Chains A and B, each alone.
Chain A
Amino acid sequence: MSFDPAILARIQFAFTVSFHIIFPTISIGLAAFLAIMEGLWLKTRDPLYMQIYRFWLGIFAMGFGVGVVTGIVLSFEFGLAFAKFGQMAGPAIGPMIGLEVLTSFFLEAGFLGIMLFGFNRVGPKLHFLATCMVALGTLLSASWILSANSWMQTPDGVVVEHGRVVVTDWLKVIVNPSWPYRLPHMLIAAYITGSFLVAGVGAWYLLRGEHQAFGRRTVSIGLTFATMLIGCQVFVGDMLYGKMLEHQPAKMQAAEGFWEKQSQSPAPYYWFIVPDQQNQRNRFALGTPYLGSIWLTHSLKGRVEGLKNTPRDRQPVMGWVFYGFRTMYGLAIIMFGLCIASLWLRWQGRLFTTRWFLRSLVVMTPSGVIATLGGWYLAETGRQPWVIYNVLRTADAVSPVPAGVLLSTLIAFVCIYALFMTAFLIFTFRMIRRGPQAAPSEPVATGSLKHALKPAVMNDPAGRNPAPVE
């Protein structure tokens, strides 16, 4: 049996980057949430805010650690599996990755220690500053990575000379046409992820009748932010859609599931299709009449362009793009609906007592992560067959590495990452089961996993180790 090295290289990168993106999404969202919680504690001195901070700090730290480790792998993969991409695009991508390290990693590395271990070693305001700096670091990191990735989607500010990219305008490289839209889209996605995460855990406590004060506060804050952010996301998402239609029409043609150059009028909005790429048609399609015209052309009878407008050798695989988009958009609609329901229940004073709603929140706890993954599948599979849009094909970017090497490293990645994920889930669920009162007042470096989650007995001169709230 023989494997295609190009396919294996792509599967390996898809697997490692899909795994990685889960953790930055969580840590960007949680870092901002933690900064808000500590800020509210500083302002009000309500011990419940500090309890919420302490509880989520542990989960944030674990997610942050896994995110950093799995992110480093990606840089190596550029060189190992996609060396030709590195050779060609290095002059543009390399400095941006370097700047990510210089600005965000240094900032995070400098303040993360204070954030995790400095509760009783620095004053409350300096500790709050450290939390804000870590949150800022996660934002800057996302900004540079989005800049690099957006440049691959909509390259600008370069010329290609002797098979290599030569930068002619750095501002155009960094602020490329899609970056101003994709960055807020990703950041809002991360903040929504954090909001649903904290609201979901709070709802779980309310359903079990445990840690009521903690549950009510986190459900309330999580849903308030989620509701405002989902509105912003719908708005930004539509702007980004228009921008990508302008720059990458093939991606958006595939995302909507239409093949013909012009769809019928009025166009339906497809929810489910069975695409047949070979024959350039759908074997089956299920949609809502008129909705395609209304949403995509903002008119009652507008027509939508199909994938046949793009030559076959430049078409992405419709199935991946379509379902990546539907996963993201479908979950966004459900989130929007839940947020509307939360407003209604809050208006009636039943937000914390309506069991179906609390159960829905628990089910939706990981929805932000799944939607973000869907969005990245849309972005990355929709760019194919290009790795740098209209500049370098993915097939031409792969290193001349034997398939056996790629297969063995892929298996190794799957095994190690399965270990990471298992450890992350076990520790997270254990912390959630133990509840906020069991969260350590300060993480203690014991060198032993056994003691990792045991509450530490520390001096508390600043009054940040409150008595149980309930």
Chain B
Amino acid sequence: MHRLIAAFLICLPVLMGLSVASGADAQTNVPPQASTVDTNPAVSKLDDILRRQEGLKTADDAVRATETGDPDNAMPSTGQLGTLGGASDADLWRAFRFGKADITTQARVPAATTLIQDGGMWWLDFRRGPLQTIAIYLLGGTLLALALFYLVRGRIPIEGEKTGRTLLRFQAFERFGHWMLASSFVLLGITGLISLFGRTVIIPALGHEAFSSVAIVCKWVHNNVSWAFMIALIFVFVIWVVHNIPDRTDLRWLAKGGGLLGGGHPPAKKFNAGQKLIFWAVILLGGSISLSGLSLLFPFEFNLFGHTFSWLNGLGAPGWFGFADLPYPLAPQEEMQYAQLWHALISVILTAIIFAHIYLGTIGMEGAFDAMGKGEVEEQWAREHHSIWAEEIAGPKTTASKEP
């Protein structure tokens, strides 16, 4: 036994020496790799990480987008610390992030191969931050301004003596088109605002479960009532576009501010300049909302923003205002995100305009609601607010009506 222990002790240094030599051989087989942490601009530094956490763009994204791995320069896969493939993990994640990786997925849907969508956080931050702030200030500010206007100006009365006679202002099919557009817009506005403010306002108030039911109903209503809005939009465009072509009468009307502030009633045809502005705002903004809405209804089917951004960049349009080029190309999700932001922003602007329209059509002006309510208006009202049209319909004023 003693002999055996002695032999082991004698051989131990030899065995240890062989082991060290073997390790040395293994190290010398691997080509020396210099650290690229400080020299490779694609490697994230602390400053980059902090900027990204603050939602700011990092300076070297363009370089990073190209640093997605070169299989020829990769560590040999046979080495002790070799890679499993041609690119390092960092290269692969960069390729995911910048859409350069060749990805095959189980899901056969258009955007399934985008595993990391870098622009998504910007969209999320903007949607729950500035977009909601803009909506609150714009809609709240408009309501406040209208309330102040009402306090200062009061309800605009029919100034002359009422005749007791009425003029047919809008036929039944015109009122039908108006009300289908209006009722669908109101529903879309309410459901859209609930969707926009759900996470920040309604979930804290009602809880997740209650909001879930509300959100499902709102989504169904918003998606399907949108068709009624689009049909009505086309309908009112067809029936009223002839009456809404701008002319010289509108310039005179606008020069006098429509008589809203200074009093008096500038001459107007069937639609005055203010109504024409409302009409074109509804058609153009409503049309834009419809297009972006269709893009959202059929996700990834037709993309509006990438092509538009490319075209604007080609013109140099962003540079006219001191901005850098607009992003192009866009990931499929980015297309949807820009469509959602545009859809919401233009909808909020149109809603603010419609607030003013509703105000003037109801409590803001005596006799105005009858035009869409009954279809017939007091002749004196027509002579005051649409004098040219009233004269075409009813002839020159009689002694019962008084032109201001």
Do A and B bind?
Answer: no
> Footprint of A on B, CB under 8 Å?
none
Task: List residues of A whose CB falls within 8 A of some B CB.
Answer: none
